[in-house]
Amino acid sequence: MKKRILLLAGGQSGEHEVSLMSARSVLNALPRDQFDVTPVVISKQGRWLPPTETQRALESGEAPTGGDLVLHRAASAEGYDAVFPLLHGPMGEDGTVQGLLTLAGIPFVGSGVLGSAVSMDKIMTKQVLASAGIPQVAWALAVRREWQAQPDTVRERAAALGYPLFVKPANLGSSVGISKVARAEDLDGALNLAFSLDRRVILEAMTAHKPREVEVGILGNDAPIASPVGELRFDADFYDYETKYTEGRASMHIPAPLPPEVAEQIRTLALRAFRALDCAGLARVDFFYVEETGELLLNEVNTMPGFTTTSMYPKLFEAAGLNYSALVTRLVELALEDR
Ligand code: ATP
Ligand code: MG
Ligand code: MG
Ligand code: MG
């Protein structure tokens, strides 16, 4: 019998549009002889759209308004065998939707509440990975109240890391709200931007030189496998939103031209991080490789990485011999597996 799949896309985060792009690809790729797929788009206001509005949103690439209250829809999600929450960022990739689906008793693709929540928050990720002995840049935490009440303590913390540094909302993706701060004068503006998007902000020392950016895909539950390593190259100061999503601004190199022992180290560290964070199903683990010093630093773990047919994660597994359609099928199988 065909498996009934609910594909969730859109969502409330700054990555709403990115999620809809990913969802269109997955929708086209899930084999129809095996799966009966129902897409449901979640509007930017968090409401779950009925079928016709969902269709319209998928075609137009956005869903600013409309839809039902979430709980009403989740209750009717009971008729599905599995859910594919193809949502990026807060209220989707951060354990909230995963909690709802866990409560509803429906299997779903990807990490559970714990792995999703910890991996979404860059500060929690750093803390867990530090305790697992995984190399990372120096960093510091700041919370909104503190920035409002004692801005100088936050400024001192930044100065201790040295410039240039990166200021990031702790819970976001697609580089939304991220600034590279070259001088102390630009710090306040970067912090105000990051705090407009999140209560928690991470300050990160920049790598000693402009790093090479290398990424690896992980697939599996308790016996995960690592893909070949890929590299992103782009002509910009850092990999910002515009560079990520403007056609032709970045190029993907798979496999990344790296010394074999460096590639192997990346795969080993990525698998260790996946386990330390209690991830499941899939993750894309991103590293900085500082060629000048030979340093390898883990940047972040994305539990629901970009998923269009040209995105890095599917391309990495395609290079490993698993085409896009086989990959999404495998992800649904992993969701249905006993853990
Ligand atoms: P994604 O879309 O992959 O989820 P994100 O929004 O979570 O990305 P990061 O990967 O943390 O953001 O940072 C975005 C980009 O900023 C990186 O790809 C890199 O180009 C640059 N960058 C971030 N932190 C540093 C750092 N500490 N040193 C050097 N470059 C950095
Ligand atoms: Mg990220
Ligand atoms: Mg992300
Ligand atoms: Mg990233």
Nearest ligand 1 atom, CA 205:
27
Q: Are 3 and 44 in contact (CB under 8 A)?
A: no
69 compared with 181, residue with greater pLDDT: 181
Model confidence at 52, pLDDT cuts 50, 70, 90, reads: confident
The CATH classification number of 139-205 equals: 3.30.1490.20
Q: Are 304 and 93 in contact (CB under 8 A)?
A: yes
For residue 252, the number of C-alpha atoms closer than 13 Å in the C-beta half-sphere is 17
Q: What percent of the chain has pLDDT over 90?
A: 90
What's the mean pLDDT in 311-335?
97
| CA-based torsion, 182, 188, 189, 194: positive or negative | positive
How many angstroms does the Cα of residue 331 sit away from the middle of ligand 4? 22
Sequence ranges of the chain with CATH classification 3.30.1490.20: 139-205
| pLDDT confidence of residue 338 | 83
CB within 8 Å of 138: residues ≥ 6 apart:
161, 204, 205
| pLDDT confidence of residue 72 | 63
Which residue's CA is minimally distant from atom 7 of ligand 1? 173
| Token couple for 139 | 């960093």
| pLDDT confidence of residue 70 | 66
Q: What percent of the chain has pLDDT over 70?
A: 97
H helix or E strand, kind and range, residue 194: helix 187-197
Q: Are 304 and 141 in contact (CB under 8 A)?
A: no
| pLDDT confidence of residue 69 | 64
Sequence ranges of the chain with CATH classification 3.30.470.20: 119-135+209-336
- Report phi then psi at 219, rounded to 5: -140, 130
How many angstroms does the Cα of residue 299 sit away from the middle of ligand 1? 7
The region, left, alpha or beta by phi > 0 then psi within -120 to 50, assigned to residue 272 is alpha
Q: Are 80 and 38 in contact (CB under 8 A)?
A: yes
H helix or E strand, kind and range, residue 122: helix 122-131
- Pocket-testing residue among 17, 126, 166, 307, ligand 1, by greatest number of atoms within 8 A of Cβ: 166
Model confidence pLDDT, tens digit, residues 155-180:
999 999 999 999 999 999 999 999 99
Model confidence pLDDT, tens digit, residues 263-310:
999 999 999 999 999 999 999 999 999 999 999 999 999 999 999 999
- Pocket-testing residue among 125, 213, 239, 316, ligand 1, by greatest number of atoms within 8 A of Cβ: 239
List the one residue out of 79, 73, 70, 69 whose CA is nearest residue 106.
79
At which residue do the structure tokens 């559970």 appear?
A: 112
Specify which residues 252 forms β-bridges with: 232
Model confidence pLDDT, tens digit, residues 126-142:
999 999 999 999 999 99
CA dihedral 90, 141, 165, 118 (to 10 degrees): -40
Sequence ranges of the chain with CATH classification 3.40.50.20: 3-108
In this structure, the residues whose C-beta lies within 6 A of any atom of ligand 1 are: 137, 166, 168, 172-175, 178, 204, 206-207, 211, 213, 238-239, 286, 288, 299-300, 302
Q: Could you give the ipTM of this predicted complex?
A: 0.98
Residue 99 buriedness (CB in 10 A; 0-12 / 13-18 / 19+): middle
Assigned CATH topology for domain 119-135+209-336:
D-amino Acid Aminotransferase; Chain A, domain 1 (3.30.470)
- Report phi then psi at 108, rounded to 5: -145, 160
Nearest ligand 1 atom, CA 173:
6
Which residue's CA is minimally distant from atom 17 of ligand 1? 239
DSSP-derived pairing of the beta strands 295-302 and 225-234? unpaired
- Pocket-testing residue among 172, 200, 238, ligand 1, by greatest number of atoms within 8 A of Cβ: 238
Catalytic residues: 15, 174, 245, 284, 286, 300, 302, 306
Model confidence at 253, pLDDT cuts 50, 70, 90, reads: very high
Model confidence pLDDT, tens digit, residues 56-114:
999 999 988 777 766 666 656 668 999 999 999 999 999 999 999 998 889 999 999 99
How many angstroms does the Cα of residue 275 sit away from the middle of ligand 2? 18
Examine the pLDDT at 210 and tell me if it is beyond 60: yes
Nearest ligand 1 atom, CA 210:
29
Assigned CATH topology for domain 3-108:
Rossmann fold (3.40.50)
Specify which residues 167 forms β-bridges with: 179, 203
Secondary structure string (H, E, C) spanning 262-324: HHHHHHHHHHHHHHHCCCCEEEEEEEEEECCCCEEEEEEEECCCCCCCCCHHHHHHHHCCCCH
How many angstroms does the Cα of residue 304 sit away from the middle of ligand 2? 9
Which residue's CA is minimally distant from atom 29 of ligand 1? 206
How many angstroms does the Cα of residue 319 sit away from the middle of ligand 2? 22
List the one residue out of 31, 109, 111 whose CA is nearest residue 332.
109
